[in-house]
Amino acid sequence: MARPYYSEPGDRIESTRPVTVSRYRGFIRANHWITALSLILLLISGLAFFHPSLYFLTGLFGGGQNARWLHPVIGVVLFFSFLTMFVQLWRLNMPRPEDTTWIAQIGDVVKGNEENLPEVGKYNVGQKFIFWGMSILIVVLIVSGVMIWEQFFGELVTIPTRRVAVLTHSLAAVAIILVFILHVYAAFWTRGTLRAMTRGTVTGGWAYRHHRKWLRELAGRRQRGPAE
């Protein structure tokens, strides 16, 4: 059997009356929420250190000292949780021929005229942008974060280098906050998306409207059967 092009092996049509499609397995969903929670905690603790007027946010962590040592530890958790998700999903987030047309018709995306858009696989260009944006920014954050983690790595870099790392870390943090906000907005804007990460399934209508090539591949796999 050929390797799926638009889907993962675990994706499948669970039922036909009504049509219900399995989009994310339990492990992926749990890992996604660990990543999201880690990012939120880093956002809050990072903002507390960003400006004195936001220092009160350290109270959510039990004070400044706790927030100071928890921030880099949570950063490591974020890196490895996202790495786990990256290993599973990177292939389906690679560019596809239809992505160029999708970008060219971005106006239809904003207006919600999806009937004018090309059929896409499990992820559209917007989702791929968020995935790769997160991937790059998390690498920048972990590398720059290690460089400024004085408790364990203070002697590995010079003070001028550490200053550059602090600036890089701050800029990457602002960028990932913007990408995260875009991700959350898109999840609420596209009705039915949150169900995929809470229940693991989507309706057949949702799959047909937003990710038709993905659904067609699953339907073809169902017709052929697991033995082929």
Residues shown for the chain: 228
Phi/psi at 201 (5° precision):
-125, 165
SS3 190: coil
CA atoms of 119 and 96, how far apart (whole Å): 11
**DSSP codes, 202-213:** EEHHHHHHH-HH
- Report the Cα 123 to chain-centroid distance in Å: 11
- To which residue do tokens 């997160």 refer? 134
CB contact at 8 A, 206 and 18: no
Catalytic residue among 169, 183, 210, 211: 183
CA atoms of 169 and 3, how far apart (whole Å): 39
Long-range contacts from 202-209, C-beta under 8 angstroms, 24+ separation: 202/20, 202/21, 202/23, 203/18, 203/19, 203/20, 203/21, 204/13, 204/18, 204/19, 204/20, 204/21, 205/19, 207/19, 207/21, 207/23, 209/114
Assess whether 183 carries a catalytic annotation: yes
Task: Give the active site residues.
Answer: 183
